[in-house]
Structure 1
Amino acid sequence: MNHNTYTNPASASSSLIGQRIKHPRIATTIEECRLMLAAGSNANLILLCGPTGVGKTTLGDFLVEAELKSQVEELAANPGCIPAIRVEAPASGEREFSWRLFYQRILNALEGELDAPRTAYGVDPVTGRVVRPAGPQSNRLSGLRTAVERSLRNRGTRFIVVDEAAHLMRQCHPTRLEQQLDTLKSLSNEYGVQWILLGSYDLFELVSLSGQLARRTHVIHFGRYREDVVEDVRAFRGCLKKLGECMPTLKDVDLLRYSEVFHQNTLGCIGTLRTLLMRLDLLVAEKDWSEETLCTGLLTEAQVTQILREIVEGEERIAPGLKRHLLAPKNLQAKRVA
């Protein structure tokens, strides 16, 4: 049985990739996600977006693990139950989004990697023998869809986290965006599964192209730690300290002395910070610690500038909706209009 849980690789170098921390921002976002999951059919599609490198994949893993822990009694009584999984929406290189490959990934997470083709078999009412529909059968899309439906029902899956969800919509014409999400929504309506779509700010922009799409989704902003917010600075320093303690060659280095440098270079994104520290750990293992080694491991100015541009544009676009200006007092709204 595949519960799609996270396991650390055996090698020492690979194990660094598995170092994760449930910092304040991720804990708050998880709680908001769980509230929306409790809403059931009133929140079929949950859109969770934030800047690149903020830690969305890690958040997805935590959500799945939290669901498995909360269903421990159900899992003991029904070992075949898989209440939650995380899959990545494929970028297949095809002109249109590959639902075939997407369904296969869901089936692999729920049933394991099976070599046999998924086909909608039936039973002849006269002979009682197993029969299959006429025509080409090898992993036909309809057969894959039927297999996914059967697995969702049998496994009791409550929600599916879809990483890189923008691929669902980026590879189709804007007029077909609703059709793409209708496919997910139909599975949600029929089998009670909810979808958590993870992506950068471009995912939010794609959904906002259509009023119908906007109406069907609940948006959660997974933001970075800002340098102009005291609580954020304190939390970022805590993340830097904890992650540094997990790195063999950095655990004895006073990284907090350079916390401002790390904050500026990673723009307050913990996923980016973890990647940077992993790279720096390897550099220090070869060259020993020095400020020159630190500078070598940092992102270049051009990289930071590009990422910052995307973050600022994304935050400006998503913030008005999340601040709920419609709930502000009328006189305050009038001042904004003036």
Structure 2
Amino acid sequence: MNEHLREAVNGARFPHPRYVEAVRSAAALITFSGEGSVVAMVGPPRAGKSTAGRAAAREVYPHSNPDSIPYVVVDCSRTDAGYMSMRYLTLDLLAQLGHPFYGDLEHSLRLKLTETNARLQLRRAIEYRRTKLLIIDEAHHLLRVKDRSGREAALESLKCLGNETGALIFLIGGYELLRECFCSAHMNGRLSILHFPRYGTSTSDAGCFDRILASYDVLLPWAKGHSLLEMRDLLYEGSLGSCGLVGNWILLALARMTSLRSQRLRMEHFESARYKQQLAEIAEDISFGESALQPIEKNHIGALEIAPITDISGRKIVRRPGKRLPKRDPVGNAERQR
């Protein structure tokens, strides 16, 4: 029975507005972004970002012929001595592209090649497979480097890979990814942000969140008088409005129920499975992300401090709207050209 419960909760998929909108927006950006662009899908933990990104890729590229691989997905998880390794990420991309030298881990000698050589092979593989989309999941791990310059180098390396091959780089990760993406003017020039937000406290959001709880409720062995909807305020506060965290919390509560040899699920199993410090860390990350993703509004554009255009002498150039920029004088003898 316990195995059945675990599979039922893990396998539960409830299409909801946040997810549907994320898939639609991701598919649109994949379709219309220019070659070599970078898209970053960010949001709270376990919101469904990875699932949405893959679903969007399948929607845009539903078919492929045997020789082409229109998109690949890799997790940015393998590390070198605890730090993120761009070399390992390159090798993982080569394996996903079916490179004959890197697709089989038994070829250990190939794994000893330098990052530079592996990168060259990756560029050739992307061109040969006609790959248009590289999805890097858990992309916030790109920031797990020894120093700040390494963070910039990792993101710049991916941006340059897109520029060299024309492939769209699609990053999926937590809000902390924004801390580095927003710090580079060159990255921002080709960066699009896709926000997969949590559910808020508005009436419409509360209704959607409650429907998710009701969908989970029918799967669980509740004691009389207990249900997710009965403790919805606790569930919202403990999940911070992220439906993915609700699913994870349910599994922890089931584990707590089993360890106490109970047959029915109760509120106390949920209360003892979550800690305040866990919520504090997640809440801080969400607070940063939501504050960083304030959209541009007309009345706020003037608040941006942009240096005025000046001439050689340093005088500010004032140009009326619609007036064209001056052209360079023709090269050669001015008297002859009259």
Q: Same fold (TM over 0.5)?
A: yes
Aligned partner of 2:239 in structure 1 is 266
Tell me whether 1:103 sits opposite 2:76 in the alignment: no
Q: 1:148 to 1:300 in 2, by over 3 A?
A: same
Equivalent position amino acid for 2:230 in 1:
R
Tell me whether 1:205 sits opposite 2:192 in the alignment: no
Aligned partner of 1:218 in structure 2 is 192
Aligned partner of 2:24 in structure 1 is 31
Partner-residue secondary structure (3-state), 2:117 = helix
Aligned partner of 2:123 in structure 1 is 149
Partner-residue secondary structure (3-state), 1:201 = coil
Deviation string 1:152-171 (CA, Å, 9 cap, x unpaired) is 23333221221221232441
Q: 1:306 to 1:142 in 2, by over 3 A?
A: closer
Equivalent position amino acid for 1:85 in 2:
V
Partner-residue secondary structure (3-state), 2:169 = strand
* In 2, Cα distance between equivalents of 1:108 and 1:14: 30
* In 2, Cα distance between equivalents of 1:163 and 1:54: 13
Task: Give runs of aligned pairs for residues 61-76 of structure 1, distance below 5 A.
Answer: 61-67=54-60, 70-72=61-63, 75=64
Whichever structure has more helix as a proportion of its residues is 1
* In 1, Cα distance between equivalents of 2:55 and 2:205: 21
Q: Give the superposition deviation at 1:16.
A: 4.1
Tell me whether 1:116 sits opposite 2:107 in the alignment: yes
The one of 269, 282, 301 aligned to 2:276: 301
Q: Give the superposition deviation at 1:290.
A: 2.3
* In 2, Cα distance between equivalents of 1:261 and 1:197: 32
Aligned partner of 1:292 in structure 2 is 268
Task: Give runs of aligned pairs for residues 1-338 of structure 1, distance below 5 A.
Answer: 13=6, 16-41=9-34, 44-67=37-60, 70-72=61-63, 75=64, 78-90=65-77, 92-94=79-81, 97-111=84-98, 112-116=103-107, 138-171=112-145, 173-175=147-149, 177-227=151-201, 229-245=202-218, 247=219, 249=221, 254-285=227-258, 286-287=261-262, 288-297=264-273, 299-319=274-294, 323-325=295-297, 327-328=298-299
- Of the structure 1 ranges 150-159 and 207-216, higher mean CA displacement relative to structure 2 is found in 150-159
CA contact under 8 A between 1:64 and 1:85: conserved in structure 2? Answer: no
Q: Give the superposition deviation at 1:212.
A: 2.1
CA contact under 8 A between 1:54 and 1:222: conserved in structure 2? Answer: yes
Q: 1:329 to 1:190 in 2, by over 3 A?
A: closer
CA contact under 8 A between 1:91 and 1:167: conserved in structure 2? Answer: no
- Of the structure 1 ranges 249-258 and 153-162, higher mean CA displacement relative to structure 2 is found in 249-258
Q: Give the superposition deviation at 1:266.
A: 0.3
* In 2, Cα distance between equivalents of 1:156 and 1:140: 24
TM-score when scaled to structure 1? 0.74
* In 2, Cα distance between equivalents of 1:21 and 1:142: 44
Deviation string 1:93-112 (CA, Å, 9 cap, x unpaired) is 54864121101211232324
* In 2, Cα distance between equivalents of 1:14 and 1:104: 33
* In 2, Cα distance between equivalents of 1:43 and 1:169: 21
* In 2, Cα distance between equivalents of 1:19 and 1:155: 35
- The percentage of counterpart residues that share the same residue type is 22
Partner-residue secondary structure (3-state), 2:66 = coil
Q: Which runs of 5+ in 2 are unaligned?
A: 304-338
CA contact under 8 A between 1:48 and 1:198: conserved in structure 2? Answer: yes
Deviation string 1:143-198 (CA, Å, 9 cap, x unpaired) is 32233223323333221221221232441644455543332233323333211112
Deviation string 1:250-296 (CA, Å, 9 cap, x unpaired) is 69964222222211110001221110112223444541222322322
* In 2, Cα distance between equivalents of 1:146 and 1:273: 43
Q: Which runs of 5+ in 1 are unaligned?
A: 1-9, 120-136, 334-338
* In 2, Cα distance between equivalents of 1:242 and 1:205: 36
Between Structure 1 and Structure 2, whose CA radius of gyration is higher?
Answer: 2
CA contact under 8 A between 1:244 and 1:277: conserved in structure 2? Answer: no
CA contact under 8 A between 1:40 and 1:192: conserved in structure 2? Answer: no
* In 1, Cα distance between equivalents of 2:104 and 2:154: 25
* In 1, Cα distance between equivalents of 2:174 and 2:153: 21
Q: 1:64 to 1:243 in 2, by over 3 A?
A: farther
CA contact under 8 A between 1:90 and 1:101: conserved in structure 2? Answer: no
Q: 1:182 to 1:294 in 2, by over 3 A?
A: closer
* In 1, Cα distance between equivalents of 2:112 and 2:267: 58
Partner-residue secondary structure (3-state), 2:34 = helix
Q: In the comparison of the two structures, how many residue pairs are matched?
A: 294
CA contact under 8 A between 2:47 and 2:244: conserved in structure 1? Answer: yes
TM-score when scaled to structure 2? 0.74
